Structure 1
């Protein structure tokens, strides 16, 4: 592995700059002295941008905002002008949607196409880093039965998700395939993919909305005090995901996909770690719900938790192989306890969770 080379003479673009992962990426870029072209929906929304502005005040880098829309053709042209590296992080992360095609598939797939076609038209661009997901590698834990070995690797693709089953995972799969199709049809810039698992840790914006914050809040606010299912997941710290993007953007030898995941764990372990750190002040769950019970009542409590999802994930062995990210991006992963305690402490500090 060669080390990242930070050439700050040209600006870099970050799409979806107000996002959870993007916030920490912008922070790191500013710390290294880059001029960051931050593509956002509304540059006049000072309330939403105040957390990024605070980062810029305390670093040597420069922050410039550009209005852009994932679905508007040409809307990234001005933001991308002169940039050598493009970080495409913008994509919806939400599970419960009314119209998966309109709310998930189109923003993910068309947005990726929009940004990468713009890279084709912008001569300064040398590398594009796309934030994909482990969801593009597998759809359900049960998919592990179809792969060689006992862990998912970068060679695997999600073939089981669809518009009607795990549509979020389906959107990430289509978007990443779109990125590869566009990248392989040209030879001026190269594509590097980051595939994070469930991202946890504190946000640059303490009031960020994402499935990650919803899950950790529910573990501590009593929503899940009766118990949690044995749902196995990969987890990674948001700060480590930002570091993976830095390495992917500026390490010349970086190529291909990178599973970016610190730990293979499950919901009960997450609850145990939180209880070990914060004690019994908060109603963390301390029991595992039987799969039969989850199968029976899960869909009634949460429409996105279908019986097919429960059957293919709860109590089903799972694991991803993160060795490529360690070997080729030089990542060292923070402890799971650090990620969880820092995130939950932030929820406490800002009154999102109360005892």
Structure 2
């Protein structure tokens, strides 16, 4: 039985990843930032095959913590950056754990001989920090793909900028370490939607679904999304977990980065689907999933599937 370590394995995406690996017969180690807050991770104990699960407190900026967590892992999934629209202290809350955490992680992984595969859960924000808005340097009908040069908007939300810099650190590591002894693969989900596996409501993805469903705009940013009827590329959280598992278990993918995405819909259409209504507007494919379909054998669910799953909550 192989062992997989999942940094952030109790979050919205991470919980699905944890369940996927448990279902596939792996021993799973999950990190949490604070064991004194069981409400953050206690739902994992209710998952199928949870007898093969352990949960540890890990500070991703602490090399000793990381080293102890990664010891004896064969596969590692780095999903430790919660999606945030805003932060009171971006440097402390977002940039430090995301960018420095990634750099420390790469260093420690290089010193852990048991590791065979590393999967970074990046973000569409690493490719286009302006998401869900378009890259202003691209034509309006551009279909984004892994071949695009990543775009940095210095006015973008801190989360997107931090994901951009973390992704750049991974790309630089891959380029400068041709003989690592393990494979590194990155996946970049677009707007992740679906039903959470926990009772927590602090996930931004879950929060956005609530706001869109109920047409609530608590701040100018969300109001702008409604006013402009901004187009969102959507992917099911269960598809993201499946893509991560396939990236982790298929050989010959070293250095690859995969967009995980389905259709793109305007906010008004998301609101309609969340209320079990027929959208007035049609979907487009703004972000390409061709590479993930080809290499990982993915078949992405239509947007109404995760939205209806959430709306049934």
TM range, smaller chain? 0.7 to 0.9
Q: How does 1:157-306 map to 2 (within 5 A)?
A: 157-162=149-154, 164-186=155-177, 187=179, 188-224=181-217, 228-255=227-254, 256-277=256-277
1:225-257, CA deviations, whole angstroms, 9 ceiling, x for partnerless residues? 995532112110000000000000001133400
TM-score norm. by structure 1 comes to: 0.78
Q: Is the 8 A contact 2:213 2:270 kept in 1?
A: no
Q: What is the distance in 2 between the residues matched to 1:46 and 1:106?
A: 24
TM-score of the pair, normalised by structure 2: 0.88
Distance 1:41 1:321 in 2: 34
Displacement, 1:179? 1.6
Larger radius of gyration: 1
Is residue 329 of structure 1 aligned with residue 296 of structure 2? yes
Q: Is the 8 A contact 1:16 1:39 kept in 2?
A: yes
Query: 1:353 corresponds to which residue?
Result: none
Structure 2 distance, partners of 1:123, 1:183, is 17
Moved more, 124-133 or 227-236: 227-236
- Aligned-residue offset at 1:94: 0.6
- Is the aligned partner of 1:143 residue 2:135? yes
**What are the Cα deviations for residues 4-58 of structure 1, in whole angstroms up to 9, with x where unaligned?**
xxxxx33111001211111001001111111001111233543332210111xx3
1:117–1:182 contact (8 Å) kept in structure 2 = no
The alignment partner of 1:195 has SS state of strand
The structure-2 alpha-carbon separation of the partners of 1:121 and 1:147, relative to structure 1 and needing over 3 Å to count, comes to farther
State the secondary structure of the residue aligned to 1:129. Answer: strand
Relative distance call for 1:30 and 1:142 in structure 2 (3 A) is closer
Count, aligned residues: 300
**125, 131, 136: which one aligns with 2:121:** 131
Secondary structure, in 3 states, of the residue corresponding to 1:146? coil
Q: Distance in 2 between matches of 1:268 and 1:339?
A: 16
Match of 1:64 among 54, 57, 63: 54
Question: C-alpha separation between the residues in 1 aligned to 2:94 and 2:53?
Answer: 29
Give the superposed CA RMSD.
2.6
Report the secondary structure of 2:312's partner residue.
helix
Q: For 1:182 and 1:84, how far apart are their aligned partners in 2?
A: 20
- The answer to whether the 8 Å contact 1:29/1:36 transfers is yes
- Whether 1:22 aligns to 2:22 is no
List gaps (5 residues or longer) in structure 1.
1-8, 280-285, 289-316, 347-355
CA distance in 1, matches of 2:59, 2:136: 36
Distance 1:87 1:142 in 2: 29
Contact 1:84 1:124 in 2 (8 A): yes
Q: State which drifts further: 94-103 or 219-228.
A: 219-228
